[in-house]
């Protein structure tokens, strides 16, 4: 009997329990090929070396750890690894900031002003734009750059305003959640004026697909605000245009990159809005679902959860599709909080009651055993974004991320990167590193990585048929990856 009281421990029982525990984890039941086992032996050796170093990257703030991660041989393997899909990424934080600075802000007609709370705003305009409240007069960057000899300082200052990343002590720069969220929202607004300019909008999305593709991600579900995209003359486009643009560019990208499977949009709205605005957004989403049935995945509410209204507050608006018999899948952010027991902390349960297809973050899931059980039984995957949770100060040492426990129970979950550009990351590899080396511990192995990648297809919004096709494509790329790396020499 496994749980009987023993006088002296039986090594075979011990072995059996250790194996039982190992088999329960994500990927624990995966049958591995010989080649995969060879690659796994290599990974284990690398991970043990990594864990024995004094400055263990997952225990450090990502801003400090980034350059260490970049030199890690595990990271370099994870970059090459076909990771499947990225299911939790936001529209205006796909592309690294360097590209915005060097490419976008150098385009003609780009104006900038400085806000009175130490941020910047941008606008492209054929004529001098109307002044913005609480902002300095607009300066045409072309003129400004022509006047100064060394543009490095200017570019650095712009770069600093477009993301949270900093070389200074991140704990000192962002001492509290309030501070870091405030700077986060400021950076979004700074990026906003750049990326909602129609020509940039198109290029940005194409560049985003390119960066994820380069990171060996083959599919994307993009949470998109579907903003009013503007032209140089100030005219704007509606949401249908924006959707159509996303769709066209995706098709174009897939046609030139046949091993990229595609992208879909999750339309998102601010959770700080009032009920009628959310009801309006839900109705728009229903219409978009009708117009883009295969391209719109569903709907979500975004923004700082602790400061927004709880999902339950919007229950009538969010029940509209069910009431009208329209299929509108939900992909709610929920449980991105450490305020246990507040109204907002009820979002996890309410997301499930509102029949969500996945849960964004679910950081608080361990604090909700009933919701956790529901999510497991219904196969509602948690989208785990480790670096985001660390930068936004939910957890310090990523070994303590709650997904450690979830992975050990093979809870339905995928790894994603939320807003990689904002955090100085890119694609999915940094987050896979934190998951695999950080909260995965020594126990997670090649089977875990395989299952995480497969989860990203299994829990996507794709149809059964599409999933089959995507899995086939992924499997081909995976086999190549394994074959090319199983005999890799270390160092």
Pairwise CA distance, residues 168 & 12, whole Å: 52
Closest distance of CB 372 from a copy of itself, Å = 9
- Residues in CB range of 310: below 8 A, 6 or more apart: 343, 344, 346, 347, 350
The least distance separating a copy of itself from the CB of residue 32, rounded to whole angstroms, comes to: 18
Q: Work out whether 350 is an interface residue with Zn ion (CB under 5 A).
A: no
418 interacts with, out of Zn ion, a copy of itself, none, CB within 5 to 8 A per kind: Zn ion
Is residue 91 a contact residue for Zn ion (CB under 5 A)?
A: no
Planar angle of CA 432, 68, 36, nearest 5 degrees: 40
User: Per the residue annotation, which of 221, 336, 383, 451 is the catalytic one?
Assistant: 336
Q: Are residues 28 and 410 in contact, defined by beta-carbon separation less than 8 angstroms?
A: yes
Closest approach, Cβ 158 to a copy of itself, in A, equals: 31
Do 138 and 110 contact (CB within 8 A), yes or no? no
Give 410 or 461: the residue with its C-beta nearer to Zn ion.
461
CB nearer to Zn ion: give 273 or 471. Answer: 273
Assign residue 427 a region (left: φ > 0; alpha: ψ between -120 and 50; beta: otherwise).
left
- Mapped onto helix, strand or coil, the DSSP state of residue 296 is strand
Among 418, 431, 434, 451, binds Zn ion (CB under 5 A): 418
Q: Which does 367 bind (CB under 5 to 8 A by kind): Zn ion, a copy of itself, none?
A: a copy of itself
446 contacts 471 by C-beta, under 8 angstroms:
no
| Alpha helices by DSSP H, 308-415 | 315-324, 347-353, 369-378, 386-391, 403-408
Kindly tell me the sign of the dihedral angle through the C-alpha atoms of 135, 139, 140, 145. Answer: negative
* Residue closer to a copy of itself (CB basis): 14 or 102: 14
Judged by beta carbon, residue 148 or residue 370, the one nearer a copy of itself is 370
Concerning whether 336 is annotated as a catalytic residue, the answer is yes
Rounded least distance, CB 29 to Zn ion, Å: 30
Q: Which stretch binds Zn ion (CB under 5 A): 168-176, 349-357, 415-423, 427-435?
A: 415-423
| Beta carbons within 8 Å of 193's beta carbon, 6+ residues apart | 121, 122, 123, 124
* Closest to 416 (Cα-Cα) out of 401, 432, 396: 432
Q: Which of the choices a copy of itself, Zn ion, none does residue 269 contact, using the CB cut-off of 5 to 8 A by kind?
A: none
Q: What is the dihedral of CA 428, 434, 439, 441, to 10 degrees?
A: 110
Minimal distance in Å, beta carbon 180 to Zn ion? 14
**In whole angstroms, what is the distance from residue 107 CA to residue 111 CA?**
10
Rounded alpha-carbon distances, angstroms, from residue 225 to 40, 242, 365, 397: 40, 10, 26, 31
305 makes contact with Zn ion (CB under 5 A): no
- Residue 129 or 420: the one with the smaller Cβ distance to Zn ion is 420
Contact by Cβ (8 Å): 382, 406: yes
For the CB of residue 338, give the shortest distance to a copy of itself in the complex, in Å. 5
Q: How far is the CB of 337 from Zn ion (least distance, A)?
A: 13
Q: Under the criterion CB under 5 A, does residue 221 sit at the interface with Zn ion?
A: no
User: Dihedral angle at the C-alpha atoms of 179, 182, 183, 188, nearest 10 degrees?
Assistant: 160
77: nearest Cα among 425, 419, 404, 436: 436
> Residue with the closest Cβ to Zn ion?
418
Distance in Å, CB of 179 to a copy of itself, minimum: 11
Which of the following is catalytic: 361, 368, 401, 445?
Answer: 361
Instruction: Residue 178: name its binding partner from a copy of itself, Zn ion, none (Cβ under 5 to 8 Å by kind).
Output: a copy of itself
In the annotation, is 61 catalytic? no
**Cβ pair 448, 468 in contact under 8 A:** no
Cα separation, 269 vs 266, whole angstroms:
10
Task: Round to whole Å and give the CA distance between 434 and 441.
Answer: 10
Cβ closer to a copy of itself: 258 or 341? 341
Looking at the Cβ atoms of 67 and 377, the one nearer to a copy of itself is: 377
Binding site for a copy of itself (CB under 8 A): 3, 5-10, 13-14, 17-18, 20-21, 24, 51, 54, 59, 171, 176, 178, 312, 315, 319, 322-323, 338-342, 345-346, 349-350, 353-355, 366-371, 374, 377-378, 394-397, 399-400, 402, 404-405, 408-409, 439-443
Q: Give the residue with the Cβ less far from a copy of itself, 250 or 461.
A: 461
Which residues are known catalytic residues? 336, 361
Residues engaged in binding Zn ion (CB under 5 A): 418
């Amino acid at each position: 009997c496994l749980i009987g009281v023993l006088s002296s421990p039986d090594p075979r029982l011990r072995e059996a329990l250790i194996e039982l525990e190992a088999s329960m984890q994500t990927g624990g039941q995966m049958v591995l090929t010989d080649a995969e086992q060879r690659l796994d032996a290599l990974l284990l050796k690398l991970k043990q070396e990594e864990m024995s170093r004094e400055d263990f990257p997952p225990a450090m703030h990502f801003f400090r750890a980034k350059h260490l991660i970049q030199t890690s041989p595990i990271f370099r393997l994870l970059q090459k690894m076909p990771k499947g899909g990225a299911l939790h990424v936001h529209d205006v934080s796909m592309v690294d900031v360097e590209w915005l600075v060097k490419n976008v802000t150098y385009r003609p007609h780009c104006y900038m002003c400085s806000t009175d709370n130490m941020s910047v705003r941008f606008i492209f305009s054929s004529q001098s734009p109307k002044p913005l409240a609480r902002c300095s007069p607009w300066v045409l960057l072309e003129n400004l750059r022509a006047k100064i000899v060394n543009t490095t300082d200017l570019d650095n200052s712009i770069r600093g305003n477009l993301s949270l990343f900093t070389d200074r002590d991140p704990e000192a720069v962002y001492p509290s959640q309030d501070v870091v969220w405030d700077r986060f929202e400021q950076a979004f607004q700074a990026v906003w004026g750049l990326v909602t300019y129609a020509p940039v909008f198109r290029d940005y999305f194409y560049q985003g697909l390119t960066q994820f593709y380069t990171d060996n991600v083959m599919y994307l579900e993009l949470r998109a605000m579907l903003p009013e995209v503007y032209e140089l003359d100030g005219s704007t486009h509606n949401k249908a245009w924006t959707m159509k643009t996303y769709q066209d560019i995706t098709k174009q990208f897939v046609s030139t990159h046949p091993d990229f499977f595609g992208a879909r949009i999750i339309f998102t709205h601010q959770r700080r809005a009032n009920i009628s605005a959310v009801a309006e957004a839900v109705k728009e989403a229903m219409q978009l679902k009708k117009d883009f049935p295969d391209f719109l995945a569903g709907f979500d509410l975004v923004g700082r959860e602790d400061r927004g209204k709880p999902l339950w507050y919007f229950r009538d608006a969010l029940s509209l599709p069910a009431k009208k018999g329209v299929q509108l899948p939900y992909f709610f952010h929920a449980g991105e909080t450490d305020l246990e027991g507040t109204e907002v902390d009820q979002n996890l349960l309410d997301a499930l009651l509102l029949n969500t297809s996945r849960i964004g973050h679910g950081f608080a899931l361990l604090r909700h055993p009933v919701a956790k059980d529901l999510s497991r039984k219904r196969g509602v995957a948690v989208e785990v974004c480790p670096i985001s949770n660390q930068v936004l100060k939910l957890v310090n040492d990523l070994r303590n991320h709650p997904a450690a426990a979830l992975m050990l129970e093979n809870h339905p979950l995928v790894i994603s990167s939320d807003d990689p550009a904002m955090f100085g990351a890119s694609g999915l590899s940094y987050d896979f590193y934190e998951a695999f080396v950080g909260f995965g511990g020594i126990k997670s192995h090649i089977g875990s990585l395989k299952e995480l990648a497969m989860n990203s297809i299994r829990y996507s919004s794709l149809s059964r048929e599409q999933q089959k096709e995507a899995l086939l494509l992924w499997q081909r790329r995976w086999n190549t990856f394994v074959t090319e790396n199983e005999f890799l020499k270390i160092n």
